[in-house]
Amino acid sequence: MQIDLSGRKALVTGGSGGLGRTIVRTLAECGADVAIHYNSDKTSADKLVEELRASGRKSAAFKADITDFDSVKQMKDDVGKEFGMPDILIVNAVIQYEWKPLLRQDIRDYYSQFESCVMQMVYMSKMFVPYMQEQHYGRIVVMNTECAVMAEPNCSAYTSAKRGLDGIVRVLAKEVGADNITVNQIAPGWTITDKERANGVNPAPEYVASVPLARRGTDTDIANMAAFLSSDLASFTTGAYIPVAGGRVMPAI
């Protein structure tokens, strides 16, 4: 049994970033053509496009501010014209900010997290789900976080936005299930990406001690789950919140 995404088109938001880049490559390795969204790093996005094209996959890069509805609408139009509408949507982008205790966290950070988590999901759904409904097929994979369950200190803006995102995903899964569209969430733990590898991986002994599998996860661990949920192997899974965190998060029934 293999994950086969041949003939499928995917769009990955934040596709030129650390985690997004690995997801893009993994989907392409499974046979999908992949459109790469970026906000500012055009150089990295274009380089990844060239890499995928060299491997025989169709690819293109598209710029958008995922917190702005008109910008997302323009991206949808561009994707449709230049690449083709996606069967698979990976909602991965998020604004980065400095984590602080709630009493010291800048108020603007709460807005940025809500806009880049909840509103990104709303905008992307409004733009790309109608096509999936027309073809009676779609796979939507959303990046959440273990923080949504753990609710640990210093991440109140991130946690609150991701918990809001969880509500949107669960409602959407029920609304579009009859259209043969699945909507699922991956909840990574503290994940190692290429940026950290280049700068030196933090061994994080205290964090690792809280992980039953006794290690930090990698971008490949997350990307493999994204590929599975994007495939027909997961055709009867929807509305799920799936931790890929080594057992650190175990949602109860």
Which among 58, 170, 14 is positioned nearest to 162, based on CA atoms? 170
User: In whole angstroms, what is the distance from residue 130 CA to residue 76 CA?
Assistant: 11
What are residue 6's phi and psi, to 5 degrees? Answer: -60, 135
CB atoms within 10 A of CB 202: 12
CB atoms within 10 A of CB 32: 29
User: How many Cα atoms are found within 13 Å in the side-chain-facing hemisphere of 170?
Assistant: 10
User: In whole angstroms, what is the distance from residue 231 CA to residue 54 CA?
Assistant: 23
User: In whole angstroms, what is the distance from residue 193 CA to residue 44 CA?
Assistant: 15
How far apart, in Å, are the Cα atoms of 203 and each of 9, 84, 157, 216, 249?
37, 42, 26, 8, 20
Across the beta sheet with 241-244, the strand order is 59-63, 33-38, 9-12, 88-91, 138-143, 181-188, 241-244
Tell me if residue 207 is catalytic: no
Which residue of the set 97, 110, 158, 207 is catalytic?
Answer: 158
Q: Which residues are catalytic?
A: 158
